[in-house]
A and B are shown apart, each in its own frame.
Chain A
């Protein structure tokens, strides 16, 4: 039994020795070089960190498989060394891993951006559809005033919701691009080809839809147009802040033209708003018994207000009648309760009136109030009565003495 076991062990030794002897040193180093070259190529061709993780395992395996032949390989690859070549592979692996990780993070950011832009566009499209549907219903329901009024209210609410949504979009764009660094700009610029949509195109769509809405006559009134002006003011402000960065990031080939296109569209939108706004403002003041001089711009509107109040003050100084006082009370009421209270913030944001413009009107309104208040005759009558009583008493005393 012992002899059999010894024979088997001896045979195994001889067999393994034979197997070892059959290996070509030249072939071993050739295989190592081929494996090394293949791994190098795989690292260079890797497009994801998942692919790289497999390569890492294979580098470890290469080192384990050939470490016993390291002196042989050192002789073959001189002046390189076995450990140097394995280290070179690991360095390449690490560098590629860092690059791919950064690339994947950049891709994720681009995907997020594209998804966000798509979401914005889809939501805007839904809102535009709802608004267009309401507009059709308003046009059809002209025979029923109550229903039409309800539809206009709904329409107005939808426009306000859309404004709020667009403001949120702009806020997000600002927070993302106001401080965008050049590395991020380059990263996005490199990914532009695979972006079906981008924020500049989204902004153009929004502006075009706003312009279209301003051009339509859908039962909108002064507050709606003032709100549009305010929205335009906010939009312009945002564009002034991030327009350059957006144009450089999303239209790197021709940023000046991209910026000018949006600027032109903003100007067209403002013209459409103004086309309706000044008439609507004139009508609103007229409907409240206030006949302002004609105006066609923010500055002429301010002049018209001042001119109206200045004239009223002059009239009050001269006549000081109850009728003038009613005119004053009517204007003050409309100015304080409607213009300032309801539209004030929108007027400022829309660049129609500044806070100092309104403060100036307030000062003049006080002066007008002082002049318009009718003066009472009661004190004068009481004075005359008192004087008559005193004279009577004096006469009575003199008569009694004599």
Chain B
């Protein structure tokens, strides 16, 4: 009785290993997703922004809701070398960090910058981090997907 059971289990394990061996297993390491310049995007009437150059289109309604804002004239978007998207806008207190999923941008982190709203935000791509500057105040913040550095 025990022998057929062991045989069946062994067969199942062999099939599982075989199936795993036949699936995609290629992983490319050290990919640089860095977007050299931020994108400055104007939302349409449905709060959709479309970056033609870097080919991404999404709704900012959720971000506005989180930020407690009704609308913005434009948002600033940049992708770090690790592949995370950083989003902010004039008057926002925070920078929103997203990671990509299938047809999704999933909020990774909200980095609080100020409680008074960022005056004139701008992202710069730096080799090890994303630089956020407030041209209104001259303040500079070094960010990554974990938070402020």
Which residues of A line the B interface, CB within 8 A? 18, 21-27, 29, 72, 75-76
Contacts and interface: CB of A to CB of B under 8 A. Distances in A.
Nearest to A25: B124
B140 A25 contact: no
Contacts of B36: 25, 72, 75-76
A29 B140 contact: no
A72 B37 CA distance: 8
A24 B135 CA distance: 8
B60 interface: no
B131 A26 contact: no
A159 B120 CA distance: 86
Interface of B: 36-38, 40, 76, 122-125, 131, 133, 135, 138, 140
A26 B38 CA distance: 6
The secondary-structure label for the interface of chain A is helix
Contact of B122 (A18, A26, A72, A75): A26
A75 B124 CA distance: 13
B125 A25 contact: yes
B133 A75 contact: no
Nearest to A74: B36
A24 B124 contact: yes
28 contacts: A18-B140, A21-B131, A21-B133, A22-B133, A22-B135, A22-B138, A22-B140, A23-B124, A23-B133, A24-B38, A24-B122, A24-B124, A24-B133, A24-B135, A25-B36, A25-B38, A25-B122, A25-B124, A26-B76, A26-B122, A26-B123, A27-B122, A27-B135, A29-B37, A72-B37, A75-B37, A76-B36, A76-B37
A135 to B, nearest CB: 84
A78 to B, nearest CB: 9
A145 B135 CA distance: 102
A67 B1 CA distance: 82
Contacts of A75: 36-37
A24 to B, nearest CB: 4
A22 B133 CA distance: 6
Contacts of B125: 25
A18 B37 contact: no
A24 B123 CA distance: 7
A330 to B, nearest CB: 107
A401 B140 CA distance: 172
Contacts of B76: 26
A2 B122 CA distance: 39
Contacts of A72: 36-37
Contacts of B37: 25-26, 29, 72, 75-76
Given A25-B38, A26-B76, 12 more contacts: A18-B140, A21-B140, A22-B135, A23-B133, A24-B122, A24-B133, A24-B135, A26-B38, A26-B122, A72-B36, A76-B36, A76-B37
Contacts of A29: 37
Contacts of B133: 21-24
A18 B124 contact: no
A162 B7 CA distance: 132
Contacts of A23: 124, 133
Contacts of A22: 133, 135, 138, 140
Contacts of A21: 131, 133, 140
Given A21-B131, A21-B133, A26 B40 contact: yes
Contacts of B40: 26
A351 B12 CA distance: 126
Nearest to B76: A26
B1 to A, nearest CB: 70
